[in-house]
């Protein structure tokens, strides 16, 4: 129930907007670098980077440069970095065995970051698409993305990352039952302190295109992901998925994409009161950057406004490619 408000002119809402100091005193939601997880793309090589054409300002980085990025993030007060590997087509296979190779790009990057910047949390991606010649998050058998066999592979992938030193695992595959299988495996193998940030409500969205360019999955993908990612028209299903993942052992949950699904973020936080995150995905980032580069929008202002909207919608944090730039501004 809304409180009673005195009639005008006794109540003048503009009084509390009159100066920056007054606005700061009554501001309900604020941003800080501690709200961000920075997604970073990892590629093979040494002391090199390759710009992602569809994501202005974002590059794939070699492991040594990823370490530099982690040091920069830590210095800015960003608490976590999230790794996504770029796997060349010749390393992609039907069996996706590179996904649980102890020396794959992700696992080498985890070890290098934890050696150099042990204070920063390292999050990883759990899905087969970077390693799958078909570009899908799961195994493809006779045109079907199969669930249970995929979950077995995801467990092997997760354990390899936990051994490498990952702090947070991010299952983004949307297979049924994978959270319970991951949690059981982590517990039985002595990795009880590894957290799971589940992509619980991940929609079959058109906003992922630039990300697929960044990880080299665009050309590989055959068909779409609608049989395992959520229908954009559904919201009640997201609540059931969140509830299931929490019951299976997820520590935190995520809504993906972000800005087009703020209603889902709010429902999740109000319904469950758990650590809730959103991913400001590549398409959201790219469209803001493109508009800013064309002079159609003030890039700095729309960046910060877009990030603040996640906090207002109930999110505890945001995965965003804007993380270092936003952190620098927020740090003054």
Active site residues: 202, 256
d(CA 48, CA 36): 25
How far is Cα 300 from Cα 302, in angstroms, rounded to an integer? Answer: 6
Closest CA to 81 of 50, 117, 46: 117
CA distances in angstroms from 160 to 93, 126, 135, 321, listed in the order given: 18, 11, 21, 26
CA dist 144 and 122 (Å) reads: 32
* Paired strand residues for 206: none
Phi, psi of 202, rounded to the nearest 5 degrees: -105, 120
Determine whether 273 is exposed, middle or buried from the number of CB atoms within 10 Å of its CB (0-12, 13-18, 19+): exposed
Tokens 């990952």 belong to 166
Closest CA relative to residue 89, chosen from 208, 210, 215: 215
Give the DSSP letter string of 95-153.
S-GGGG-TTSHHHHHHHHHHHH-TTSEEEEEE-STTTBTT--SS-EETTEE-SHHHHHH
Q: Taking the CA of residue 303 as centre, how many other CA atoms within 13 Å lie in the half-sphere pointing to its CB?
A: 20
Q: Which residues contact 128 (CB under 8 A, 6 or more apart)?
A: 96, 99, 136, 137, 138, 139, 150, 153, 154, 157, 173
């Amino acid at each position: 129930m809304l409180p009673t408000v005195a009639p005008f002119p006794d109540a003048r809402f503009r009084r509390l907007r009159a100066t920056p100091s007054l606005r700061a005193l009554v501001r309900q939601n604020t941003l800080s670098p501690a709200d961000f997880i920075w997604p970073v793309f990892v590629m093979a090589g040494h002391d090199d980077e390759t710009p992602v054409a569809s994501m202005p300002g974002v590059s794939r980085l070699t492991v040594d440069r990823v370490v530099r990025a982690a040091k920069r993030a830590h210095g800015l007060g960003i608490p976590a970095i999230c790794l996504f590997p770029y796997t060349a087509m010749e390393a992609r296979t039907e069996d996706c065995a590179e996904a649980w190779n102890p020396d794959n790009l992700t696992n080498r990057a985890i070890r290098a970051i934890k050696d150099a910047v042990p204070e920063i949390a390292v999050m990883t991606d759990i899905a087969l698409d970077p390693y799958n010649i078909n570009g899908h998050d799961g195994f493809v058998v006779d045109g079907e993305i199969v669930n249970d066999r995929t979950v077995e592979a995801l467990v092997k992938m997760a354990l390899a990352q936990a051994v490498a030193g990952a702090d947070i695992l991010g299952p983004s595959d949307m297979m049924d039952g994978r959270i319970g299988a991951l949690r059981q495996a982590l517990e039985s193998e002595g990795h009880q302190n590894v957290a799971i940030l589940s992509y619980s409500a991940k929609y079959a969205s058109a906003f992922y295109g630039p990300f697929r360019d960044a990880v080299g999955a665009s050309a590989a993908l055959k068909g779409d992901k609608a049989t395992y990612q959520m229908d954009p028209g559904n919201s009640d299903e997201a609540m059931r998925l969140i509830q299931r993942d929490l019951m299976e052992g997820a520590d935190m949950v995520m809504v993906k994409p972000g800005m087009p699904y703020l209603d889902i973020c709010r429902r999740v936080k109000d319904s469950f009161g758990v650590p809730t995150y959103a991913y400001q995905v590549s398409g959201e980032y790219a469209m803001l950057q493109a508009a800013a580069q064309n002079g159609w929008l003030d890039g700095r202002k729309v960046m910060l406004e877009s990030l603040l909207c996640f906090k207002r919608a109930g999110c505890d944090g945001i995965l965003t490619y804007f993380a270092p730039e936003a952190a620098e501004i927020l740090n003054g």
